[in-house]
Structure formats: structure tokens, C-alpha cells
A = this chain, B = another copy of it.
């Protein structure tokens, strides 16, 4: 079979797609810079620049030339060939871009920016009413967008699909039902046991510079390539790829607690390793990027939870920790390890433990479904939120700032995004269990700081495929079974058993 790359349409197709990737790279840098570096006075100018770049990219994506090239390739490339998949992926993006009318796109951009400002103010004053009108407007526009994207299907599913190709509300519901039941049982059992973990050993003074040095050392040991990446400071940690050879992580630091930065870095390094492992040959093509947010989150959660919270990893980490913070000289792995697996219902998602975290996500999923089905009005949001927290987690927010206003996602119009956190958590457990099966020496490797075998397994089974398979296909190929909550629940039950002595 002749290589499709010899097809006369292919070079131009790849050239245009490369330009789209380059424009996106510039947008990524504008965003990174705004979050880490830009002086406050640049906000308005930056919004204009970002808006223009997004518009230019959208114009190119919807150009008749690109659609014609993709069509030609789709018709003539052998089914299943890389070129056919690239053409299909291109069509998916083109269709998504075309279904949303220009006027709606502009209204969304403007409303998002207003809603974001209103949300910041509302959260500061803990007053939902300051956010409500903008949010209601944004939800209405998002419903319009979702309906356009769904093309006759479920509007909310079209939003899910933006972040997690192929995800549907109907597919997620059973997963969340199972998690609610099983995790609920665990949370209740721990609460009923009355057990309290002694966390005094975690107290101390942890200078930011020392935390940063330790973080860099860990990131490098895990395999993050700093010749092609950075670690900076921002208000909210994130990982962003500017372009090939430039992947950036950020972190925030607390002087009185080193755990948030430590696990924040493990988390972002997980994202960063995925980005650095994407195949160079497909970069700047429709298959070159990470396949979905859920798969991305599976990489961050895997390193954060299944590696970072393991006894084996702690064994490797402790000498480094002691060298950085002498307060840990007398501390042993068995004293620290249980504290990384506390089960403690709390109000703030980003501070939640690995067990209750998914219940926070579940609450947001329920609310989003109700908002988009019309069962819930924006005005009813705070009440619904507080009731769900009381019902699911047994605690009720004292105010809107620690309740419905805590997350930025809705203010940015990112509905359908939250579920990817849980999909990623489940996938992380399933991938790690599969890696354990094929790497018998894994625990020993982790204890000795040999992270390359695990990274190699992830490169082979996840990273190198970029967007070639759907998330569901990717997980099934890598683990031998469809995504389920089984491995995650096994893991959680095991650690809860060991930490709290509960048989669940």
C-alpha cells in the first residue's frame, strides 16, 4: 500500500493544520504569560490579542480549502490508515467550529469575560446574587451552543464531548451511582468509627525556596525533561504546552504546609510527562494532541495518587524530604503514609482527599445535568448545591464562597468539564493496576526511584497514541477491559482498610 503521505492533498492539509497548531501555540503562551507574568495593567490589551488570535484560527479552521482537503483524504485514504483518522479528526473539529454561529461565538466570548469578572467579585463578597444574572445569561448561551453542537442529540452530551470524546450523560450516570453508593459507605464507616489521625508530624515551617528545590528534584527524577520545560508559580497550578519542546508546569506554595505543593507537582508532572511523550511525528496534525481531558487527568492522578501516595514512593522520597526539611529526620514511612489517605468530608473540591473528591465531582455533574435539562434554574443553584453537599457529604457550606462560588469553571462557561476529573481518576486506577500486572518489579522500582519502567509503560500504552484512539478505545487497549470504577474502588477500599482498619 502506497503511503498516503504521497497523496497530493496531504502536504497542504498538514501545512494548514500546522498553522492552526501554531496559532494555538501563541494562544497558549498568551494564557501562560497572563497567569504567571503579565502586569495587571495588561488585562484589556491581552483580551483583545487573545480574541483576535482565536478568531483568526477559527476562520482558518472553517476555510473551504481545509474542508475540501480533508474530504479528499477521507475518501481516498484506506480505512484505518493514519491519514484517514487524521481526516476524520479534522472533520470533527471543522464541524464543531462550523456549528456554532459567529454571532453566538462572539456573545459567548463577551459573556464569559463578564461572567468571570462578576464571579471574582461575587466570590470575594460571598454573594451569589452578584454572579447570578451573568451566569444565567451564560447558561442560556451555552444551552444554545450545546443545542447547535448536538445537532439533534442531547445538548449536555455535546458539551461533555468537547472535553471527553464520546462521553455521554447516560454512560456516566451508572459510574457516578456506583461511586456515590460505595464511597458513601466508606465515608460513613470512617465517620462512624470515630477514628482521628494524628497529623501533628506534618506541622512545621517550609520555606518556599526549599519546597521549590525539592519539587524540581522530584519532577526531574520522575522523568520530566527540563530542557524542554519549566516550573513556575501561579495562583492555580496548571500544565500547559506551548509547542514542541516547551511544556510548562506551575505550582503554588504554602509556607505552613508542604503537602499541597508536593502533590500539586506530582499531579502537574503527570500531565507534563504525557505532553512530553506525545509523538513528534504527529505534532501539528489533527492526531498530535492529548486525546481528552479524562485521559490527561488519568496521567496526573496516576502519578499523584498511585505513585505519590504509595509506601514505595515514600520510601524513596523520605531521604530527600529529610534533607530538605530536617524536621522529618526522625519520621518514618509508617508514620507518614496513613496521613496521605485520610477520609474527611470537606467543602472545597480542590482540597478534598482522594476518596471524597469524586463526590464533589458527582454533585457538580448532577447540577449540570439538571441545569441543561431545564430541571434547575440558575436562581435555584445555591440551594441545590448546599442540599446536595448535606445529602452526599454530610456537611453544609456556611456561605456561597465555600459553596457554589468556589470553582471558576462555570464562570468560564466550562460546563461538562467536571466529570473528566472522575473519569481520569477511574482510568488512573485501572491503568496503574494494568501496569502493576505487567511490571512485576514496579513496587521495588518506585522504592528505589526507578521511575523509567512505569513511564515507559505509559509511553507505550497511552502517550504514543496521542489522539489516534478514542478515550474508551485507548483504555480498553491498555488495560484489556472497558473503563469501570472497579480498580479505583478496590484501591480505595484497600487503603481505607489499612489506614482505618475497616473491612468494607
Residues of chain A whose beta carbon lies under 8 Å from any beta carbon of chain B: 18-19, 22-23, 25-26, 29-30, 33, 37-46, 48-49, 51-53, 55-56, 225-230, 242-246, 284
CA distance A44 to B22 in the complex (A): 12
Neighbour of A48 across the interface among B29, B46, B243, CB < 8 A: B243
CA distance A242 to B227 in the complex (A): 26
Neighbour of A41 across the interface among B22, B23, B227, CB < 8 A: B227
Q: Which 3 A-B pairs have the closest CB atoms?
A: A41-B228, A42-B246, A45-B243
Q: Quick one: closest B residue to A229, CB to CB? A: B39
Can you name 24 A-B pairs with beta carbons within 8 Å?
Answer: A18-B52, A22-B48, A23-B52, A23-B53, A23-B56, A25-B45, A25-B49, A26-B30, A26-B53, A37-B37, A37-B230, A39-B226, A39-B228, A39-B246, A40-B228, A41-B227, A41-B228, A41-B245, A41-B246, A42-B228, A42-B243, A42-B245, A48-B243, A49-B243
Copies of this protein in the complex: 2
For A38, list chain B residues within 8 Å (CB): 242, 246
For A244, list chain B residues within 8 Å (CB): 42, 44-45
For A18, list chain B residues within 8 Å (CB): 48, 52
CB distance from A13 to the nearest CB of B (A): 16
CA distance A34 to B285 in the complex (A): 24
For A53, list chain B residues within 8 Å (CB): 22-23, 26
CA distance A226 to B329 in the complex (A): 44
With A49-B25, A243-B46, A243-B49 given, is the CB distance from A225 to B30 under 8 Å? no
Q: Is the CB of A227 within 8 A of B48?
A: no
CB distance from A284 to the nearest CB of B (A): 8
CA distance A409 to B33 in the complex (A): 28
With A39-B229, A243-B42 given, is the CB distance from A49 to B26 under 8 Å? yes
Q: Is the CB of A39 within 8 A of B243?
A: no
CB distance from A51 to the nearest CB of B (A): 8
Neighbour of A19 across the interface among B22, B40, B56, CB < 8 A: B56
For A56, list chain B residues within 8 Å (CB): 19, 23, 56
For A23, list chain B residues within 8 Å (CB): 52-53, 56
CB distance from A376 to the nearest CB of B (A): 39
CA distance A51 to B51 in the complex (A): 20
CA distance A246 to B49 in the complex (A): 12
With A22-B53, A37-B37, A38-B242 known, 16 other A-B pairs at CB within 8 A are: A18-B52, A22-B48, A22-B49, A22-B52, A23-B56, A29-B29, A39-B226, A41-B228, A42-B243, A44-B244, A45-B242, A45-B243, A45-B246, A46-B243, A46-B245, A49-B243
CA distance A56 to B49 in the complex (A): 14
CA distance A244 to B41 in the complex (A): 8
For A46, list chain B residues within 8 Å (CB): 242-243, 245-246
Q: Quick one: closest B residue to A242, CB to CB? A: B42
CA distance A23 to B246 in the complex (A): 21
